Amino acid sequence: MPLLSLEIPTLAALPTAAQQVATALAEAGHTVVAFEGEMGAGKTTLIRALCAALGVGDEVSSPTFALVNEYRDGQDKPVYHFDFYRIDSEEEAARLGAAEYFDSGYLCLVEWPTRVAGLLPPARLVVELTVTGPESRYLTITSEQ
């Protein structure tokens, strides 16, 4: 059963949705969050809004080529943002130290998590964005153990 399900009618509603996601993350207590959705679903846009809700002052952008960006939240704790779209293998991600990040205890926001599924901890949240229209999305958050 999802921890949170909500309709996002327009992209302008993402900040409100991100605040609800931030609350769900805090209540669930998981530090690894897998963001799933097709290309263009708005994963990076949602992560940008989520980071703003968490007090990140840095510019949040997709780490497509860097693979990981580090930000600081409002409590000066690290927030790691991964984009594994261009990763060639789990082994490549392992060599880059992905598992150490996931085990760090700090928030890890992971785009394209299926590409590194074997490295992800079993306890994590999954945020799924489904495109329902030109600007509308359906969001669900589930907890995996």
Question: For residue 41, how many C-alpha atoms fall within 13 Å in the half-sphere facing its CB?
Answer: 18
Tokens of 23: 């609350």
pLDDT in tens, 124-142: 999 999 999 999 999 999 9
pTM of the full structure: 0.92
Query: Which range of residues forms the domain containing residue 11?
Result: 4-144
Q: Which of 31, 115, 34, 107 is nearest to 69 (CA)?
A: 107
CATH at 140:
3.40.50.300
Total of domains in the chain: 1
Q: Find the range with the poorest average confidence among 36-40, 68-72, 141-145.
A: 141-145
Q: For 5-36, how does the pLDDT look when each residue is reduced to its tens digit (9 = 90+)?
A: 999 999 889 889 999 999 988 898 899 999 99
Task: Compute the distance between CA of residue 29 and CA of residue 10 in angstroms, rounded to an integer.
Answer: 28
Does 96 score more than 80 pLDDT?
yes
Average pLDDT on 108-113 reads: 96
At 65, the pLDDT band (50, 70, 90 cuts) reads low
